Amino acid sequence: MEEKVSYKEQLLSDFELYLFHEGTLYESYKTLGAHPISYEGAEGVRFAIWAPNAKKVSVVGDFNDWDGRLHEMKRVSQSGIWVLFVPGLCCGNIYKYEIHTPYNQTVLKADPFAFYSEIRPQTASVVHRLDQYQWNDGKWMNQKKKKDVYHNSMLIYEMHMGSWKKKDDGEFYTYTELADEVIDYVAEHGYTHIELMPIMEHPYDRSWGYQITGYYAVTSRYGTPEEFMYFVDRCHQRGIGVILDWVPVHFCKDAHGLGRFDGTPLYEPIDPEQAERPIWGTYNFDFSKPEVVSFLISNAMFWMDMYHIDGFRVDAVSSMIYLNHDRGDGRTLTNAYGGIENLEAIAFIKKLNEVIFRQYPDALMIAEEATAWPLVTAPTYDGGLGFNYKWNMGWCNDILRYMQLNTDERRHHHNLLTFSLYYAFSENFILPFSHDELVYGKKSLLNKMPGDFEQKFANLRLLYTFFMTHPGKKLLFMGSEFGQFDEWKDETELDWNLFDFETHRQFFYFTKTFNQFYKRTRNLWRLDHEPGGFEWIDPNNAGQSIISFIRKGKRKGDYCIIICNFSEDAFQHFRIGVPSSGYYTEIFNSDDISFGGAGIVNKEPCKVEKIPYHNQPYSMEIKVPRLSAIIFKKTTKRHRGVQA
């Protein structure tokens, strides 16, 4: 008995076990899993796993010919934790857990806390340590602590690492190779962040990482953990933040994964109806179990701690907070009070955000939440969920529905343009043109646009300008920056051959130019989340399908005027109300010839007349091209402005 206690105490502390079972061991990856250590003078690996209902657990692998009789683990009292130190093992050893279930079955499971895994289709875990990489991003890590994200530009490039580019033989680029290819491209194009679709270990390529088996293992498809660290490091050195898609709602049922881990529902709820996610063929996490809470919050902390990740886009939040959202089987589940909210998931989300922001106040916690749930980005102490950003999926759906209309129909659906401003400041929003909108027959942004080839590009330039001038931070999916014509095809690379065509090169130049213009034009983002940063000039011109508005900065007089013409009519003498006298200079025009437009621009500064219009004390006449957006800035001198 004394020997067992001594063994346990030297490998796992009672305090760590207490916190894990309480749901507050937020660095559980340092306790559980496989860790090279020195024990009683020997070098080896300590294994620890949570399997409370198992009859017996063994470590099996390449070191014992996968024979479960040779390395049986010891159960730590009644905690459900099994532990074993195996001398002589080191990084690179391959292993799994052989678990004998309460039903006299034997299953082989990968380590839920493994830092590395075999390359699919192999499924074993690999002993690995993550403390060998020498980081060189100290400047970024220090500066971001001082940065006010709410009052700064944010332009996110969403990418899928497996299909941005591929080698000639169809193989994936490694993290290192992608770092040398994509980071300069993204930085030079003006993006502030890269958002990666999930890079946690997953068995099926075409799940895009959204059905995970290894939450702590960066996928070996693209290389080693150190190579991914290099990718993040290089991003930070170029001034680019890194956001990860993170999936705490559900996990896949593959035999080596988390499902029925010890032969019983462990990470998933005991109730089969609560456990199943029929539409995706997956299991939901059981947020009522403190150990699952420790596992998931530790996982978020892990990526920020070990990989210097700057934040998460939390997938499918609506499916977490509502019991029946995206179930797919027509059943209606209720909570203990008869409601349809998942009370345990809501408590988990609040706890997650509290813990993250306590440790990482500069983190980005972005909710992909598709309903009208209130206060998603409000602090938990004010009754909110505690995120600091939310995807504005309502705006995205409305504007894409509007843009796909034939131009002569748009005047009948003008509210789709303007409705978002009723709620634009109710949350801290990110406007997402994400992968969700560009797959499975939904068409690319360019191909959603109506009209002939020229009109499609004109519409897309107009859409992009409205997107970039509308309140809220921005996210664009890869390929959209050069007008990818086909929808995203996850099994092939982007259509880089489109750069052979002048129209696509011109559109690429347009987005690159506008991105840089956006970053240096403070009034387009300084007050993104405050009503004082926006003012309508005329939201009601449905007959001509034109809207006009003002974006304001913090300083008095720091503003610009935006006019968006969604019709095919051009206007040579269009009158618009303005707030002050003098001259206004056109500083951006999506119809510029260099962008592929017709070149109808306001070459000379526009003189203001003392004619009240649009509830403004002054007005001016301007040229407004068809299917275009133009931006004006007040100037004190009568001279031609510089085209951005």
Q: Write out pLDDT tens, residues 194-210.
A: 999 999 999 999 999 99
Helix (H) or strand (E) holding 507: helix 502-520
Token duo for residue 359:
């440790």
Does 70 reside within a domain?
yes
Backbone angles phi, psi at 215, to 5 degrees: -70, -25
Please tell me the distance from the alpha carbon of residue 200 to that of residue 494, in angstroms, as a whole number: 22
Nearest Cα neighbor of 504 from 465, 460, 463, 469 is 460
pLDDT attached to residue 439: 85
Full domain range(s) for residue 80: 2-126
Report the alpha-carbon distance of residue 279 to residue 628 in Å, rounded. 41
Model confidence over 248-267: pLDDT tens digits?
A: 999 999 999 999 999 999 99
601: alpha, beta or left, given left = phi > 0 and alpha = psi -120 to 50? Answer: beta
Burial profile 58-90: b = 16 or more Cβ within 10 angstroms, e = fewer: bbbbebbebebeebebebbeebbbbbbbbeebe
- Same domain? 7 vs 107: yes
How many residues belong to the chain? 644
368 is catalytic: yes
On whether the CB atoms of residues 629 and 561 are closer than 8 A, the answer is no
Does the structure show a pLDDT above 70 at 638? no
Q: Is the model's pLDDT at 218 over the cut of 80? A: yes
**At 611, which helix (H) or strand (E)?**
none
The set of residues, in sequence order, having a beta carbon less than 8 Å from that of 339 and lying 6+ positions away, is: none
Same domain for 305 and 184, yes or no, is yes
- pLDDT for 644 equals 41
State the chain's maximal CA–CA distance in angstroms: 94
What's the pLDDT score for residue 36?
Answer: 95
pTM, entire model: 0.95
> Is there a catalytic annotation at residue 262?
no
Q: What is the CATH number of the domain that holds 111?
A: 2.60.40.10
> For 359-384, what is each residue's pLDDT tens digit?
999 999 999 999 999 999 999 999 99
Hey, what are 560's tokens? 């610009």
Same domain as 517, residue 587: no
- The reply to whether 380 falls in a domain is yes
Quickly count: other Cβ atoms within 10 Å of residue 596's Cβ.
23
Residue 10 pLDDT: 56
Residue 573 pLDDT: 95
The whole-angstrom distance between residue 518's C-alpha and the CA centroid of its chain comes to 21
Pick the catalytic residue from 226, 268, 310, 315.
315
- Residue 452 is given by DSSP the state S
| pLDDT 10s digits, 503-541 | 999 999 999 999 999 999 999 999 999 999 999 999 999
> End of a domain among 487, 521, 555?
521
Q: Are residues 453 and 588 in the same domain?
A: no
Is 372 found in the same domain as 245? yes
Rounded Cα gap, residues 324 and 334, in angstroms: 8
Question: For residue 577, what is the domain's CATH number?
Answer: 2.60.40.1180
In whole numbers, what is the pLDDT of the chain averaged over residues?
95
Q: Rounded to whole angstroms, how far apart are CA atoms 224 and 128?
A: 10
Domain-ending residue, one of 73, 105, 126? 126
Q: What is the reported pLDDT for 441?
A: 82
Alpha carbon distance 72, 222 (integer Å): 33
Q: Does 95 share its domain with 114? A: yes
**Which of 466, 486, 521 is the endpoint of a domain?**
521
Whether 273 maps to a domain, the answer reads no
pLDDT band with cut points at 50, 70 and 90 for residue 212: very high
Those residues whose C-beta lies under 8 Å from the C-beta of residue 54, and which sit 6 or more positions away, are 82, 99, 100, 101, 102, 262, 263
pLDDT for position 12: 81
**634: Cβ–Cβ under 8 A, 6 or more apart, which residues?**
557, 559, 580, 582, 583, 584
Residue 138 falls within a domain, yes or no? no
Question: Is 451 part of any domain?
Answer: yes
Q: Does 5 score more than 60 pLDDT?
A: no
Q: How many domains does the chain have?
A: 3
Q: Is residue 644 part of a domain?
A: no
One domain, residues 510 and 602: no
Say yes or no: 472 and 566 in one domain: no
Q: Which residue has the higher pLDDT, 516 or 440?
A: 516
H helices of 124-279, where?
A: 138-146, 175-188, 225-237, 272-275
Q: Which DSSP string do the residues of 542-570 spell out, in sequence order?
A: TTTTEEEEEEE-SSTT-EEEEEEE-SS--
**Residues 317, 195 share a domain:** yes
Tell me the C-alpha distance between 124 and 48, whole Å: 16
Q: 558 and 464, same structural domain? A: no
Same structural domain for residues 501 and 540?
A: no
Q: 169 and 96 share a domain?
A: no
What is the reported pLDDT for 13? Answer: 86
Whether the pLDDT of residue 330 is over 90: the answer is no
- Is residue 387 included in any domain, yes or no? yes
> Which amino acid type is present at position 601?
V
Q: Looking at the domain assignment, is residue 392 inside a domain?
A: yes
What pLDDT digit, counting tens, does each position of 569-610 carry? 999 999 999 999 999 999 999 999 999 999 999 999 999 999
Per-residue pLDDT at 11: 74
One of 245, 368, 481, 528 is an active-site residue; which one? 368
The two three-digit tokens of residue 174, written as one number = 């490694």
pLDDT over 70 (residue 6): no
